[in-house]
Amino acid sequence: MKLTKRLYTLSLTVTLFVTGFLLPGFSTSCTAQTETNSSPAYSCIEVPKSINFCGTEIDLTRYDRRERVDRELMAFTYMHSTSLQIIKRANRYFPIIESILKEQGVPDDFKYLMVIESNVNPLARSGAGAAGLWQFMSGTAREFGLEVNHHVDERYHVEKSTVAACKYLKQAYRKFGNWETVAASYNAGQGRISQQQEKQYTDNALDLYLVEETSRYVYRILAAKLLLTDPTRFGFHLRASDLYPPIPYRTIKVTEDIDDLARFSKGQGINYSLLKSMNPWLRGSSLPNHGGKEYQIRIPDSTEMYYNPRVTHPHNPAWVSE
């Protein structure tokens, strides 16, 4: 299964390098320090000797592993606006993702796979058509139980798409037996990883010679973990009020057609734009429901959707530097 597409990765890579070269003075850990001659000097994030991923300690002292992680750490350091948005959005979505991963028996570290797939953007869509936080293609989404059509696309449903991703990850683990290889298969597909394991006589994906996109993939996950474990180490200093808070909502259960979602929104005391924002899986202007399926539509609390005077509590205290 190919859930990450090259066009999306190419676009992200271009973003990394463009922001890195055009914004050298941004305050990061690989920060540009102005010397007396006004020329910037750079210092970089130190690569750890090892990192724990899903309970396995991965040695990063071997030259190829160290340099691959180093590349991804530099990318996150200079991906200024994107990295900041990742941290802000994670405050809203990580509690949801973590709860489902735990419930489904999938290691918590796979939330970082979601980070590199979509930059924690539920509306993310690649040029190849992969969509949502977990970047499912439509066929794979249906295979793992998601509804995808012109009116409903559950790839954009945070909870349901996360459950579907867990199904895939557990299926892959039954096949490969280690989580690093499971992570690589999310990018390249289980068939291709199995084929390369046989050709190269090794079981661990970190030791496979693969196309560049897949070779970088697991290391990008590890770098995302380092970033979100301690953003200040990368020079990202946020206040609690900078983080995106969860939006309180009430749920309406619907089992009949909704011919006009804009009119439905008005009847609920909100506008169409807010309805779509809270329910991005609603793709059309109506919701046909000929089979009597129950849909749960979220309506934001009209008194709790404002930042001021709400106090945002950080999901991870390490994200704020107050």
Pairing mode, if any, of strands 40-42 and 32-34?
antiparallel
Answer whether residue 115 is part of any domain: yes
Q: Is the peptide bond before 309 cis (omega within 30 degrees of 0)?
A: yes
- For the chain, 322 residues long, the average pLDDT of each consecutive 10-residue run is 46 40 35 46 77 93 86 82 92 97 98 97 94 97 96 98 98 96 96 96 93 93 95 89 91 95 96 95 94 93 75 86 76
pLDDT at 310: 60
Query: Given this model, what pLDDT does residue 7 score?
Result: 42
Using the structure block, give the residue that is written with the tokens 């499971």.
Answer: 182
pTM of the model as a whole:
0.82
> What DSSP designation does 98 have?
H
Amino acid at 29: S
Are 256 and 235 in the same domain?
A: no
Establish how many alpha carbons lie within 13 A of residue 259's alpha carbon, considering only the half-sphere containing its beta carbon.
0
Extract the runs of DSSP E, i.e. beta strands, from the chain.
32-34, 40-42, 50-53, 56-59, 249-254, 295-300
Residues 288 and 166 in one domain: no
322 occurs within a structural domain: no
Q: Let me know how many helices (H) and strands (E) the chain has, helices first.
A: 11, 6
Distance, CA of 260 to CA of 175 (rounded, Å): 46
Give how many domains the chain has, as a whole number.
Answer: 2
Q: Are residues 113 and 261 in the same domain?
A: no
Domain membership of residue 199 as a residue range: 6-242
- Does 316 fall in a domain? no
Q: What's the pLDDT score for residue 43? A: 60
